[in-house]
Chains A and B, each alone.
Chain A
């Protein structure tokens, strides 16, 4: 069935740039039979909302919560399960018929369960049991939340037979900061600092998606110079993170030379950001309405110098990578995500693109200034650690070209527009280094009354669970680094 035919049966609510369709519980349940990508699921105190995609069209659907429940979508869309658990934990809405009703980010440590509900409840739910395993000779390896390295906290429960991983179950929520709750009651301008800190590595791209949602809700657009500067920052952030990841992947294969060089280049990019925009990660530089800082006169030169050094050495680094069979042996055929799996979870970013999914929000649905720029999106089919490494290398190259066309042609004019005290709803998006980022918000008199921020990792973490199956435990760090999913981004 076509998604639009089903949505047409609902009541339309204004949301920019795409209307939201409020369905009856029965019509919502029929979504289970439609072939589509489920990109996100979230709630407010009275309804549950979904972001859906079918044949290049993005659609918003909602269902009112009745007697504390709504029909689950997880029986048809496996990615819905974590969202449904999150909705139960934060808003207290039960997903009826869901595949997993265990608690998720509520670890029983808050004063109230369902802290985002109209009326928060009593003490939270205790942390759930891990899935039981059947079969002989299976033992469990618990890892985390405090890991050996300097990374975010999370718990990995491996069920292992000999050396082989039979199942990995990931438990997150340890960095839950109540970010969504902090947005409510603030103006987009005041709330932007939370979007900038949802996942610190993606501070720019999350800020862009948040700003664009606010601008859509207000019916305002950022000035052309702001759009161009946002893209400059986004591409710098992408390059810096990909460099860090490439180094970290090689490091987990015990190949010290590559991380030394990749991290040196990463530092050059961060130092260029400091010169150009006054902050190494460019935090709070993107704000609703535009950007808060203009690029300094020395900025373009500093960025170009870093790009040039990188461009000169990158082919050599790739050759070193390919020359060492011990390294290649660890990467190739490790942690495979099939195209079918990636499609089922609608994964974006390097995880999706290394598994044959040609998706990139800069191209479709597109947003300024990318709609006037040439962009090469690398897509590979293998779906292994090596493919995720190579997609990153290709994206570093593509972002370098984008920066080279953006920097010499920055439009003149103001860097920000002021936002009216509007009432409305908007959805904004941006392609961060991990993939597709979506922010939705509702404003009443210029104040946020409901919002959601969807990090790409929501659709990638479950694939990590799938990718490690059948691999040896020792390859997990490598697999994990090649995904580099965000903890804070999904812990909210």
Chain B
């Protein structure tokens, strides 16, 4: 019975992990980079569209955890959307498999301006272990302009959260 679970939990500590403190210097640096591209800033709430450009699914598993009660992405004003038309941010994973390149480009084109692109995981950053294969183009930055990278194989949800919040702060400005 749901209500009994709910009642029981009223007296237990929150399940959500505390938000890590962000590095002011990193925010400033990223803000400068974003500013240099002279894009109009977006508000304090960003919609994210994820695109798998040939990942092994490891990165997706961890991105999915951002939606769980533990990381609760939405408390920061960040949320995932189904349509690229609604997206301010694209999180791209994978070594840009050639078979997915067009899918990535079309999704990117479908998202309105301004938009930010975050390359998530070592594959998206430079092809990772798949670098040099006949079937991949490597870095996502070879296909679309990338604003932020989040390292790891896969990066943990905590690392992703820090990256996305940096973007939020840098975009909104002081």
Docked-complex contact B55 and A200, CB < 8 angstroms: yes
Contacts of A201 in B (CB 8 A): 57-58, 61
- The CA-CA distance from A181 to B134 in the complex, in Å, is 9
The proximity string for B residues 74-85 relative to A, scoring 1 for CB distances below 8 Å and 0 otherwise, is 000000101110
A119 sits at the interface (CB 8 A): no
| Min CB–CB distance B142 → chain A (angstroms) | 14
Instruction: Name the residue on B nearest A257 (C-beta).
Output: B2
* Residue on A nearest B15 in the bound complex, by CB: A264
* Chain B residues numbered 53-93 whose CB sits less than 8 Å from any CB in chain A: 54-65, 67-70, 80, 82-84
Is A115 interfacial (CB 8 A cutoff)?
yes
Judged by a CB distance under 8 angstroms, whether B136 is at the interface is: yes
Q: Mark B105-148, 1 if CB is under 8 A from A, else 0.
A: 00100000000000000000000011011111000000000000
Is A234 an interface position by the 8 A CB rule? no
Docked CA distance A146–B100 (Å): 9
On whether the beta carbons of B65 and A323 are closer than 8 Å, the reply is no
Query: With the chains together, A316 CA to B1 CA distance in Å?
Result: 8
- Within 8 Å of chain B (Cβ to Cβ): is A223? no
Interface of A is mostly: loop
We find that the number of chain B residues with CB closer than 8 angstroms to chain A is 47
| Least CB separation from B110: chain A residue | A146
Decide: B63 and A150 in contact? CB cutoff 8 A. Answer: yes
Residues of chain B with a CB closer than 8 A to A283's CB: 58, 153
Chain A positions within 8 Å of B132 at CB level? 182
Contact of A182 among B1, B64, B107, B133 (CB under 8 A): B133
Which residues of chain A are within 8 angstroms of B107 by Cβ–Cβ distance?
A: 146
Q: Which of A152, A176, A200, A487 has the most CB of B within 10 A?
A: A200
Closest to B6 in A: A257
Report whether A177 and B50 are in contact in the complex, using a CB–CB cutoff of 8 Å.
no
B99 touches A115 (CB 8 A): no
Q: Which of B55, B58, B59, B132 has the largest number of chain A CB atoms within 10 A?
A: B58
- Contact check, B57 vs A152: say whether CB atoms are below 8 A apart: yes
18 additional contacts (CB under 8 A) given A146-B103, A486-B57? A146-B84, A150-B50, A150-B63, A152-B60, A174-B103, A176-B97, A177-B135, A177-B136, A178-B134, A178-B135, A182-B133, A200-B56, A261-B5, A263-B70, A267-B65, A280-B62, A316-B5, A487-B57
Instruction: Identify 7 residue pairs between A and B in the complex whose beta-carbon atoms are under 8 Å apart, listed by A's number.
Output: A150-B80, A174-B54, A175-B100, A200-B59, A201-B61, A280-B156, A320-B2
